[in-house]
Structure 1
Amino acid sequence: MAKQPKRSATDRVYPRDLAATLLRTWNPEPFFEGWPRVELPPKAVLGQFLDVCYHASMLTEEGRPTVFRIVLQDSKSPVSPRHGEELPPVTRYTFTKPIPFTETELRRLAPVADPRKVLIAVESTGEGDQAQLQIYGLVDIGMALWEMARHERVMGHSSPEALVVVSTRPGELSISRGDRPVVRLRDGRIVSPTDSVLHEGPIAEFFSPASTVFINNACQLAEIDQDPDEDDGLRMAHQTFIESLLLYTADLHHGGTLLFVPEEMAHDDPRLLSRVSIKYVLPSTRPRDALVSAMAARLQHNAVMTSLEDRKTVKIEVLQALEALAEREQECDDAAKDAARFIASLTAVDGAVVLTDTLRIIGFGAEVIAAPAATDTVHIAQTAQGDESRPIEFTEFGTRHRSAYRFTAGLDNSVAFVLSEDGGIKAVRQVGPRLLLWPYFNIGFVTALT
C-alpha cells in the first residue's frame, strides 16, 4: 500500500487561519429569547487575541503546561442571561486596574484560574489602530456545569454568552460560544467535533442491544412495565454510565485502554484468548448490577411521583415513603458512579481493561497479542456515522493505539476506547472493510470544558 504523503509546513494551521475560519462560520444570533447576540471583534483584534492565546499555550511553569480558559467579553456586558437575582450563580470579579493581555500575564494568572470553573476575562478597548486587549478580571461560574458535564448533577450554570478559548496542552486551542463547541486547533489542524459516538453511528449500534437488556432488567427489578420512550433518562442510562467511565478515566491523566466485547464472552473464551493475555482476571457483575439497581430505583420513584400529580392532599405516610424512595435512588446512583470510578482506576495498571457490553468486568492488565492486522491503515471518521473518513497509517500512532487497532480489527464485534495522558479520548471499531477511528467527539459539554 502506498504511503500517505507527508504534510509540509504550508499544510499547518496557525492562529491567523483560525481567525479566518471563525469569521466565516460564527453564528452571532441569540440561542434563546432574551439572550444577547454574540458578535466577534474585528479581524485584527480577533487575530491578536488568538495569537496571544496560542503562544501562551506554549509556555510552561516548572515543566507544567499553561492551562487556561479565557472569555472575550466587554466588562459592562452581563455574564449571565439570568437577571435580577439577589445572588447570581455566575460572578465577575474585577481588578481595580486592568492588566495587559500578554503571554506572560496569562502564564502568571493561569494557576489561580481553575479552568473547570474560572475564566480569565478579557476585553478590547479603543477603536481602530488604537484598539488594545486587556485582562480586567475573573469570571467564576462554579463547579455546577463541570459536574453536570460528568453526569454528576442534572442542572448547571452556563458560561457567559461570548467567545471562549480553552487550552489544555501546547499548541491546542478549543474555541466555543459559551459552552457550545465551535472549532479546535489541534495538532496543526482545524477540527470540529463529531456528535457523540455513543448516541449514533457504529459505536452506538454496538451498545444498543445491551441498553435494551438494561431497560428490561430494570423494569423487571422495579416490577414496573415502563415504555422506554416515556423516559429519556432510562434509555440513556447505559450510555451515560459509559460516558462517565470515560471521563473518570480521562481525569486520571495516565492514559489507558478499555476493550468492550459481547456479553457471551468469558475470560477463557478462545476468541478472546487468541487476542489478549489478561494478567489479572477479575470477573464481576457489580457495575451492571449497580446500574440496573439505579435505573429500577428511578422507575419506582418516578412512578410514585406520577401517582401524586393530581392529588390535592397527600398523607404523611406517602410523603415519607416518597422520601425513602428518593434516598434509595440517590444511594443507587452513587453506587453506579462508584462502580464507574472503580473501572477507571483499573486503567492505572499497564495494559487494557476488558469488559462486556453489559458492563461485566472480565479483567485488566491485558496485553494485546493478536497478529498484525490485515491492513496498516486506520480511517479517521469525520462524522459519528463514519460515512466520511480519511486514511492514515498505523505508524502515525503509538503502541497503545496500535494495540487497540489490532484487537478491534481482529474481532469485528468489539469496541475500543483509547485514552491519552493529556485526557484525549478516541473510539475504534471495525466497520465492514474499514477500521474506523473517532479522534474527537462530543461527550456532554466536555469538548468545550476539557
Structure 2
Amino acid sequence: MISKNKTPKHLAESVCAELRKRHLSFPDEKIIIDLFETIYFSSLKTEESEPVKFHMVFMDPSVPDPKPPRNARKDRWSFIPFADPIPFTVSNLVKIAKSSELRTTSFVVWPDKDDALLIWGLVDQQNLFHKFLNRSAEIKTERPGLFQVSVEAIGVIEVYMRYEKVAELRIHELIRNSLDIFRESPVRELLAPGIETHLQAVKSHLADDMYYGDGHLDELHTQQWLSVLCRILLRIQKFKKGGALLITPDVNTPDLNIKYRIDYSRLRTSLMTNAVTKIKSEYLENILLELSEAKEKEISSQQFYQLRKFEKDLRANKNEIDGVIWFVAILTRVDGLVVMDQNLDVQGYGVEIMTSQEPSNLYLATDRMATTAKLKPASYNHFGTRHRSMMRYCFRHPGSIGFVISQDGEVRVITKVGERLMIWENIKLKYYSYASKKKTITHGETDPTDKTKV
C-alpha cells in the first residue's frame, strides 16, 4: 500500500525541482534531502517545554553577496560568520534555535567540501521582509541566499525563494499552492459592497482631478482594504488561542447573542483617511516635481510644508491602523466571536450563535472559485464547536462570511454559495507570490518589482 503522507524528502524534491526550473546551480539533491530531514526532526523537539522554531538561509558563505547593489540600503542584510562553523545536527539546532528570529536573524547553512552540512553564521536585518510578508510594509527588500526556510510550528516548514513561496510541509501534507480567495472568488464578491463603500468614501473627500487613472487607484485601495482584513486574521493567528470573526450584512438578527455590544468604526475611518492623505500627498508631489523640472516657478514654502505635513500624517495614520488591528484581534480572545458589518465596523464581541439548525450539506472547496468539479463533500461532525456554530449561522444567513482560526493557527473561511455551504482551508493571508512557471531569476539578480506597493 502506497502511503499518502508526505515527508521531508518530498519537500526537498519539490524545492530541487523549482531550483532546476530556475536554472540555478545547487549542491547534490541528497544534501537537500538531508537538510530538510534535519530541519523537520528538529521541529519535533522542545527546548524548555517550548516548540523549537528557527529560520535559515541556504547560502554559500564563501560568496555570501555575489552581486551587491551599487547603492545599498542602510538597513540591508549582512553576513556574520561564526569563528568556528557548527555541525548541522538536530541537537545543535535545538540548542541555538532561539538565536534566530524571522523579524531579525537567520542561520546560514551550506555544505563543506566533504558535503557535510554546517551552520556558518547568521544574517541580520530581516525586519523589512517580515513586515512586508505580514502586509505592514510597502517595499520589498532583497533577500539573501539560494532559498530561505522557516520552521513555524511543530512539523510545519515553509520554503521561500525571495518573495515566492515554493512549498510548505505541514506535518504530513505538502502544500504547493495556498488559495487566494481575496483576489477573485465567491468570498471576494461578498466583500465587494464594503470595498465599494470605502472607495466611494475616499472619492467624496477628493477633487475630481485627484482621483485619476484607469482603475489603478481603485485596485490599490481595494488591496489595502483587503490587506487590513488579512492582518487582523494574521494577528489572531499569532495569539495561538483560536478565535472567530464574522462579517454579516445583518448584525441585529436574533441568531446572534451579542454579549458586549459596541459600535467601533475606527478601522473604516482610519482606512479612508489613509487613502485620502496618500492621494493628496502624491498629487502635490507630482505638481512640485513638474514645477521643479519646468523651472518656471519656485516651490513655495507653503507647498513644501504641506507636503511634510502629509508625510507626518501618513506616519501617524499608519500607527493608528496598526493599533486598530491589535484592538480588533484582541477582542477575539474573549469566548465567543467578533461580529463586523460589511464595512468592517465592529458591532460586538463575545458573540454567541443561537441557531441550532445544522446545514444540510457541507463542501470543501479545493480551489478559490469553489468550482463544482473540484468540491469535496465534508462531514459537519468532523469539526469542533467553533466551526460548527459558524457553519450553522452561515448556512442560515447567505451573504455572511465566517473566519475561524484554530489554536494551531489554521484559518478556515465559511460561506454559502448558492445552496451549498463552502469551507476553504489553506488560505493565503501573507503577501507573497507563488513560483511562476514563466519566470526565471538568476541567483543574486535584482528583481525589478522590488518596490511593489501593497
Q: Cα–Cα, structure 1 residues 216 and 376, in superposed 2: closer, same or farther, change >3 Å?
A: closer
Matching of residue 177 in structure 1 with residue 161 in structure 2: yes
2:369 to 385, 391, 408: 385
Query: Is contact 2:281–2:307 with CA below 8 Å preserved after alignment?
Result: yes
Deviation at 1:429, TM superposition (A): 1.9
Amino acid at match of 1:414: S
Structure-2-length-normalised TM-score: 0.86
1:59 to 41, 45, 50: 45
Matches within 5 A, 1:299-448: 299-312=279-292, 313-375=298-360, 377-379=362-364, 381-387=365-371, 388-445=374-431
Deviation at 1:365, TM superposition (A): 0.6
Q: Cα–Cα, structure 1 residues 431 and 422, in superposed 2: closer, same or farther, change >3 Å?
A: same
Structure-1-length-normalised TM-score: 0.87
- Counterpart of 2:270? 290
- Counterpart of 2:55? 69
Matching of residue 219 in structure 1 with residue 228 in structure 2: no
Distance in 2 between residues matched to 1:441 and 1:140, nearest whole Å: 29
Between 302-311 and 385-394, the greater mean CA deviation after superposition: 385-394
Amino acid at match of 1:375: S
1:42 to 10, 25, 28: 28
2:79 to 92, 98, 107: 92
Deviation at 1:191, TM superposition (A): 1.4
Q: Deviations over 1:205-243 (max 9, x none)?
A: 111221111111111123445247132432323112212
Q: Cα–Cα, structure 1 residues 106 and 444, in superposed 2: closer, same or farther, change >3 Å?
A: same
Q: Cα–Cα, structure 1 residues 204 and 398, in superposed 2: closer, same or farther, change >3 Å?
A: same
Distance in 2 between residues matched to 1:320 and 1:55, nearest whole Å: 57
Q: Deviations over 1:379-437 (max 9, x none)?
A: 1x332222234333233332222222222222210111112234332222222243322
Structure 1 vs Structure 2 CA RMSD: 2.4
- Counterpart of 1:199? 183
- Counterpart of 1:34? none
Amino acid at match of 1:273: P
Query: Is contact 2:247–2:401 with CA below 8 Å preserved after alignment?
Result: yes
Query: Is contact 2:332–2:338 with CA below 8 Å preserved after alignment?
Result: yes
Matches within 5 A, 1:223-238: 223-224=207-208, 226-227=211-212, 229-231=215-217, 232-238=219-225
Between 358-367 and 434-443, the greater mean CA deviation after superposition: 434-443
SS of the equivalent of 1:335 reads helix
SS of the equivalent of 1:326 reads helix
SS of the equivalent of 1:168 reads strand
2:149 to 134, 143, 165: 165
Distance in 2 between residues matched to 1:80 and 1:253, nearest whole Å: 39
Query: Is contact 1:219–1:299 with CA below 8 Å preserved after alignment?
Result: no
Q: Cα–Cα, structure 1 residues 119 and 346, in superposed 2: closer, same or farther, change >3 Å?
A: same
Q: Cα–Cα, structure 1 residues 58 and 291, in superposed 2: closer, same or farther, change >3 Å?
A: same
Amino acid at match of 1:370: T
Q: Cα–Cα, structure 1 residues 212 and 360, in superposed 2: closer, same or farther, change >3 Å?
A: same
Distance in 2 between residues matched to 1:423 and 1:366, nearest whole Å: 21
Between 49-58 and 86-95, the greater mean CA deviation after superposition: 86-95
Query: Is contact 2:361–2:421 with CA below 8 Å preserved after alignment?
Result: no
Deviation at 1:41, TM superposition (A): 3.0
Deviation at 1:73, TM superposition (A): 1.8
Deviation at 1:9, TM superposition (A): 8.5
The sequence identity of aligned pairs, in percent, is 21
Distance in 2 between residues matched to 1:348 and 1:310, nearest whole Å: 51
Q: Cα–Cα, structure 1 residues 40 and 370, in superposed 2: closer, same or farther, change >3 Å?
A: farther
